[in-house]
């Protein structure tokens, strides 16, 4: 992304860990070890996941006790749900506290993003994003140093998403050099 305002985009359309780690998407150097880890990692989206990634909503920070039925009942008001998948630990079967809901139309995703961002389900404040793994080229999940997560305290904020969009690039005006020979003080 250049510093030219005409190319500014509020949300990421491709996943470059350096730019996603940047407040305005213009950084060229990694600023933390997680970004370096993401750059060195390789990730292939799960080929077994079916459905339309453009109609799929990622729901994060769920209560560990939240079930698929609860998620369906909270989100069915935004449109017909084609599938709901609460991600669970393969060994313990416990919730990993995030889920994916696929709607019949993209309108359901848009309405849910607008109305449910930072709402509470069973006492936990949730975050919502459009599915990124199959939709954004170059995507790296959080466990590989990527993702859109992070906390201010850790210094590993990620931008370009619904919860934390890019800000307009900072453009510092350049001072014009004075011609010293024309300066009356010299």
Classify residue 51 by its DSSP letter: S
Q: Is the pLDDT of residue 81 over 80?
A: yes
* N-to-C CA span, the chain: 43
What distance in Å separates the CA atoms of residue 173 and residue 155, rounded to the nearest whole number?
Answer: 28
167 domain residue, yes or no:
no
- 140-176 confidence digits (pLDDT tens): 998 898 888 777 777 778 899 988 899 988 777 887 7
CB crowding 126-144: b at 16 or more within 10 Å, else e: bbbbbbbbbbbeebbbbeb
164 domain residue, yes or no:
no
Mean per-residue pLDDT, 174-185: 62
Indicate the pLDDT class of residue 3, thresholds 50, 70 and 90.
very low
Domain limits for position 97: 5-43+50-154
185 domain residue, yes or no:
no
- 95-150 confidence digits (pLDDT tens): 999 999 999 999 999 999 999 988 999 999 999 999 999 999 999 998 898 888 77
Helix (H) or strand (E) holding 161: none
The verdict on pTM exceeding 0.95 is no
63 domain residue, yes or no:
yes
57 domain residue, yes or no:
yes
29 domain residue, yes or no:
yes
Indicate the pLDDT class of residue 89, thresholds 50, 70 and 90.
very high
Helix (H) or strand (E) holding 119: none
15 domain residue, yes or no:
yes
65 domain residue, yes or no:
yes
Which residues are within 8 A (CB) of 23 and not within 5 positions of it... i.e. 6 or more apart? 157, 159, 166, 167
Helix (H) or strand (E) holding 57: strand 56-60
Q: Which of 124, 131, 149 minimizes the C-alpha distance to 70? A: 124
Residues in the chain: 186
Domain count, the chain: 1
Domain CATH code at residue 140: 3.30.70.330
């Amino acid at each position: 992304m250049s510093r030219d305002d005409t190319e500014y985009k509020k949300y990421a359309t491709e996943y470059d860990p350096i730019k996603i780690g940047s407040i305005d998407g213009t950084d060229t150097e990694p600023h933390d070890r997680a970004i370096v880890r993401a750059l060195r990692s390789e990730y292939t989206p799960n080929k077994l996941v079916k459905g339309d990634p453009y109609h799929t909503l990622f729901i994060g920070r769920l209560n560990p006790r939240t079930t698929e039925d609860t998620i369906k009942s909270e989100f069915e008001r935004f449109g017909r749900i084609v599938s709901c998948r609460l991600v669970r630990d393969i060994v313990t079967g416990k919730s990993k506290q995030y889920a994916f809901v696929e709607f019949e139309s993209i309108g359901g995703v848009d309405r849910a993003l607008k109305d449910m961002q930072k709402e509470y389900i069973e006492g936990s404040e949730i975050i919502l994003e459009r599915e990124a793994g199959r939709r954004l080229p170059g995507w790296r999940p959080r466990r590989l140093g990527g993702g859109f997560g992070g906390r201010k305290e850790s210094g590993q904020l990620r931008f370009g998403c619904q919860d934390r969009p890019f800000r307009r690039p900072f453009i510092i005006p350049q001072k014009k050099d004075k011609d010293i020979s024309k300066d009356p003080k010299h």
